[in-house]
Amino acid sequence: MDPKDFHKKYIKAELEALEKDMVILTDEVGKEIGKASKLESHIKGGLLHKAFSLLLFNVDGELLLQQRAACKITFPLLWSNTVCSHPLYVESERYSIDGVFRAVIRRTRFELGLDLPSVISKQFHIATLLYSAGTRDGFCEKELDYIICAVVKGDSSGIVDFSVINKEEVKELRWISRTKLEEEIKESPDMFSPWFKLLFSSFLNDKWKELGVSEESFEKWKVDGIIKMSK
């Protein structure tokens, strides 16, 4: 297939998913106020909705980064956190932080082909960010973003399996140290998604540096209330 045809095909498929999938509309303190399609919630200024960002670490303290696929409608080929998506407006994902955890598991399996519960002991909700940003193509992000951390049990060498990742979602995966990530964001900021740069500079870098990475330290990472960010 010609690369241009491939791109058009999966742009169309993603648009269809954007119109079909319903996200959870929320107010600024996390109270559900309705539902809207992913497409509707990301255009014309956006509608505030629930989202999540998974930060998956290994025992060496490295973070698994994802490079978004070229055929993504928004922010193609940019590097970002392990998985970022939305809880859907379905019974199993609408209520409490457990619903967000279920969405994390579902989406990690869909994008990375990874059964998250089999490689971690627990998910940790460490912060909630109120975030907004626009793109040049008219799409925007307006999200109440639940930051979820987890650490891989034991050897992480088999986590990155390019034979099972969803090529329509993910181009590349890599583990990175905090110092290397800090250096890359400083030298090449345009390589990274806007929400991940904000997350790193406003919260992640300091917690990672000061407290390290472990299930015990994630308890100390936790921030009460909502952190407001904007680009």
CA distances (Å), origin 13, targets 4, 16, 137, 169: 14, 5, 18, 11
* Whether 35 contacts 25, CB under 8 Å: yes
Q: Which is the catalytic residue, given 14, 111, 141, 143?
A: 143
User: Residue 84 catalytic?
Assistant: yes
User: Residue 143 catalytic?
Assistant: yes
Q: DSSP states of 81-132 as a string?
A: -SEEE--BSSHHHHSHHHHHHHHHHHHHHHHH---GGGTBS--EEEEEEEEE
Q: Which is the catalytic residue, given 71, 84, 140, 149?
A: 84
Reduce the DSSP state of residue 63 to 3 states and report it: strand
Q: Where in the sequence numbering do the catalytic residues fall?
A: 84, 143
